[in-house]
Amino acid sequence: STHPSATADGSPPQMATTRLERGSLLVGGRELLSQCPPEATLRAGVADAAPGAAFLGARAAAPSSRHVFSLGTIPKGWRWLSLFKLKIWWMAPKTGADTAGVPAETQMLLLEKTGNGVEDTVYALMLPVLDGDFRASLQGSPENELQFCFESGDPDVQTMDAVDAVFVNSGDNPFKLMKESIKILSKIKGTFSHIESKEVYINRPLQT
């Protein structure tokens, strides 16, 4: 494998972490977003077992009940799968490669960047989440920017800060990445449970 192993003291390699530096969001050693604006923020180290897990956010100049923040542009070489709200009660998938094509009301964005071989492939997962009284969703813009919409739905509930708006994680297996990320979010948020933690109802026939 081309992925580095743990360091001598047992800590994860820096490549596995998610970092926001010099206007770039780096995941798994790859640039996931370029031209990140100064107002974009990153809270890393949210899960000991997953060094790549982090939260993206942003800070506005003034409080509001609805903000639209830019996160930057998805560089060439990535392709994505979006799950977005087609209607209030209906979700639909869409695939693409350009940032502008990410649908409004995207609830999950899974991205893939291939390298020279299978072992060089990196997957990134972006999940907009509930943050206090606000909900987040992802969308592309005509300016080819990836944005997140942050809204409370109540004009009297306002904020300037979106701290934990978009969960980000990365890995080399998309199925494992999805499963582990949902478990991490469940533990952090405490508002839902992964299916493995739920009690399974067994429909037994009535005794006669």
Using one digit for the tens of pLDDT, what is the confidence trace for 121-167?
A: 999 999 999 888 999 999 999 999 999 999 999 999 999 999 999 99
Give the span between the Cα atoms of 47 and 100, in whole angstroms: 31
Sketch the domain layout of the chain as residue ranges.
34-134+146-195
Give the model's pLDDT for residue 6: 38
Give the model's pLDDT for residue 29: 83
Position 52 pLDDT exceeds 90: no
Average pLDDT over residues 4-23: 58
Which long-range contacts (C-beta less than 8 Å, at least 24 apart) are formed by 76-85?
77/113, 77/114, 78/32, 78/111, 78/112, 78/113, 78/124, 79/111, 79/112, 79/113, 80/109, 80/110, 80/111, 80/112, 81/109, 81/110, 81/111, 82/106, 82/108, 82/109, 82/138, 83/107, 83/108, 85/137
Using one digit for the tens of pLDDT, what is the confidence trace for 67-94?
A: 999 999 999 999 999 999 998 889 999 9
Are 143 and 136 in contact by the 8 Å Cβ rule? The answer is: no
Position 12 pLDDT exceeds 70: no
